[in-house]
Chain A
Amino acid sequence: MAGSEASAAETPAAPDTVKILIAGGFGVGKTTMVGSVSEIVPLRTEEPLTMAGLGVDDLAGIERKKATTVALDFGRITINDRLVLYLFGTPGQQRFWFMWNDLAVGALGAVVLFDVRRPEASFAAVDFFERRGIPFVVGVNGFDGAHPYPPEEIRDSLALPEGVPVVLCDARERESSRDVLITLLDLLIASAVGGTGSA
């Protein structure tokens, strides 16, 4: 026991962790946004589809069926030495959406990204968060920096609930992606302060 205190003191305390989801349809720029604000190159894990989301209790069969996997990529932002924020890019293809349920548990909120050229790709993502009452903001990713529609027009066409902010952004730009996240935090703070929508 005597020698153990020194090394115990050297091991840093585990930080508190929180997460935000970057969601939206296939190819709308989710991974790009995670990468542009993350302090690390986005990390990626591959989950065999036979196991993902299922209650598999042993490793039998893992070597088989290597082919079908669902990728999850994520980044990290160290807020301070006690608090770390993770950003998870949700798998875009609709057939992988069963994973979203697990991912959404314990999330502070979400960014639903739109590709301004094909907004319909992210309609279902809006439904997902709206149904579950998970706070979200809409980020309109103007591919090539072009933003042909003003935010209000996008809000109307999406029939967004009152209070869901719409932000024009460029997922490739760090500051732009950061500002989308800040908009989400401001929304969360306003509802924490205001309770039932008085904010």
Chain B
Amino acid sequence: MSESDAVAGRLVRPFALTGGRTRPSRACFTLIATVTAVDPPPERAPRPQPEQARILRRCARPVAVAELAALLDLPVSVVVIMLCDLLEAGLITVHPPHPVTDRTLDLDLLQKVRDGLGRL
């Protein structure tokens, strides 16, 4: 039960993230949003174009949008347009960055970053 829920969750997630709109917004893909290929791809997904397949191979594991662009040697703006199509096709999921505003700067997060730097 929980496993099939997890699978279903992976499939619906892109649409959930875009608030139910069918056309995902490019605003999802900030530089440090991480994208991950959906594996296996949903059964009804369209066959990826060669450029899309290249992206999917690069995000078999979670990778930040900026890193993806650098690895593919493409402008971020171009990669983002392609990621929108992949998201719409259900072929990737996107994980937004940790939210940061004046109000949400949580101590726990800051302390973790501080400790991580201390270990360098």
Q: Do A and B form a real pair?
A: yes
Known: A12-B61, A16-B97, A193-B107. A7 touches B39 (CB 8 A): yes
Closest chain B residue, CB of each to CB of A193 = B107
- B78 near A79 with CB under 8 A, answer no
What residues of chain B lie closer than 8 Å to A67, measured between beta carbons?
none
- A18 near B95 with CB under 8 A, answer no
Selected from A45, A59, A182, A193, the residue in CB contact (under 8 A) with B76 is A45
- B34 near A17 with CB under 8 A, answer yes
Q: How far is the CA of A4 from the CA of B8 in the complex (A)?
A: 11
Q: Is B50 an interface residue (CB 8 A)?
A: no
What residues of chain A lie closer than 8 Å to B118, measured between beta carbons?
182
Selected from A19, A52, A56, A59, the residue in CB contact (under 8 A) with B32 is A19
Selected from B64, B67, B77, B116, the residue in CB contact (under 8 A) with A79 is B116
- A45 near B75 with CB under 8 A, answer yes
Q: Is A150 an interface residue (CB 8 A)?
A: no
Q: How far is the CA of A26 from the CA of B29 in the complex (A)?
A: 28
What residues of chain B lie closer than 8 Å to A103, measured between beta carbons?
31
Interface size class of B (residues with CB under 8 A): 35 or more
User: Would you call the interface of chain A mostly helix, strand, loop, or mixed?
Assistant: mixed
Selected from A1, A13, A107, A185, the residue in CB contact (under 8 A) with B117 is A185
- B105 near A192 with CB under 8 A, answer yes
Q: Is B113 an interface residue (CB 8 A)?
A: yes
Closest chain A residue, CB of each to CB of B99 = A106
Say how far A187's CB is from chain B's closest CB, in angstroms: 10
Closest chain B residue, CB of each to CB of A181 = B117
Closest chain A residue, CB of each to CB of B100 = A106
Say how far A179's CB is from chain B's closest CB, in angstroms: 9
What residues of chain B lie closer than 8 Å to A181, measured between beta carbons?
117
Interface, chain A (partner B; CB < 8 A): 1, 3-5, 7-8, 10-19, 37, 43-48, 51-52, 56, 58-59, 62, 69, 72, 74, 76-80, 83-86, 88, 103, 105-108, 133, 174-175, 178, 181-182, 185-186, 188-189, 192-193
Interface, chain B (partner A; CB < 8 A): 3-4, 6-7, 10, 30-34, 36, 39-40, 60-62, 64, 66-67, 69-71, 74-78, 81, 93, 95, 97-100, 102, 105-107, 109-118, 120
